[in-house]
Amino acid sequence: MATGATGTAGLPAAARGVLPGGVLPGGAAPRGWVLRDRGDRLSLRVDGRGVLVCLGLVVAIGVISVLTLTTGDYHLSVREVVDSLLGHGSSGTDFIVRTLRLPRLVAGLLVGAALAVSGAIFQTMTANPLGSPDVIGFTAGSATGAVIVILVLHGSVYETSFGAIAGGVLTAIAIYLLSFRRGVAGPRLILIGIGVASMLTALNYYLIARATLGDAITAQTWLLGSLSRRSWEQVRPLVFAVIVLLPAALYLSRRLSMLAMGADTARALGVSVESSRLALLGVGAALASCATAAAGPIGFVALAAPQLARHLARSAGAALLPAALLGALLVVASDLVAQRAFAPSQLPVGVATNAVGGLYLVWLLARQRRRI
């Protein structure tokens, strides 16, 4: 499902997704249909299979959300949850639903969507399934910023979140500058990112080893990735960030699709390659940093969700909207399992997503082996 919507009047026909005569490059007929405004300034290509995949993911998210809000130590009916959301519930129900469960659910949805879209951007830019922010160092940079605030500056929760965002953005800038050689090539970006991530991970463990026991436990718990005890004060900044960054990513998705065809082809279609890469890198790094700041470094979502979304939608492009929905579903479903599977004990959501990621890697390796 194509989700980009940008100006098209000044671009050649191929840049609008079709060649003269109404066919895709290579002679294939375009799937779905194209929505345009009367002046042909904006267009949106809608793929039927992508729409069905998105609808299915929305239904699955709805089911998981209902289970999250109704089950737990205090079981609630659907009607009690709805009354509470509408402001007609009892004080006890309001506390359980609107203070304890709903902020955690919203945080999980937004964190999953942000990580998945960030992963889709970097995997498409680098033309490599390993090009996700948790592999190429951006989430490691966020983790380092948070660990420094926790262990060195002894900051508050909000200062830790700010440190995570600052660490992720500074790491993204450093990786971009180190990778720049008359442009940024995907393999170079990945290799340098992996090296930077290794050094930052070593720094994190060094700081933890030198810290007091209490501070070390706090830092290590944060590094596992958790949605526990999330409040609206912590969720609201993430809401604002996603409201700004996710539409920006969707707006840039057309340029991202053109960059996936190669730098020379993108230039021929009128795309400013380096400025587009820089804009996409900034949006992707900001999404990963904000998600990490809100919940810690939750692994494998940015790696697996974009690939699975493309597989489900059978899309050759980034499939940002299906990826966002699938990332949200993976995080909230993993968090539900982490809360309920070992009750009354609760696992951090990062433990569950790592387990899902391990299964994904096994599936990916088996799939690649069948192709050989």
- CA distance linking residue 238 with residue 272, whole number of Å: 30
Predicted TM-score (pTM) of the model is: 0.81
- What's the pLDDT score for residue 59? 94
Q: One-letter amino acid identity for 97?
A: V
Question: 173-214 pLDDT, tens per residue?
Answer: 888 888 777 666 667 778 888 888 889 889 988 888 888 888
pLDDT number for residue 158: 80
Both tokens of 90, joined, read 């009892």
DSSP 151-207: HTS---HHHHHHHHHHHHHHHHHHHHHHHBSSSB-HHHHHHHHHHHHHHHHHHHHHH
pLDDT in tens, 9-32: 444 444 444 433 333 444 444 455
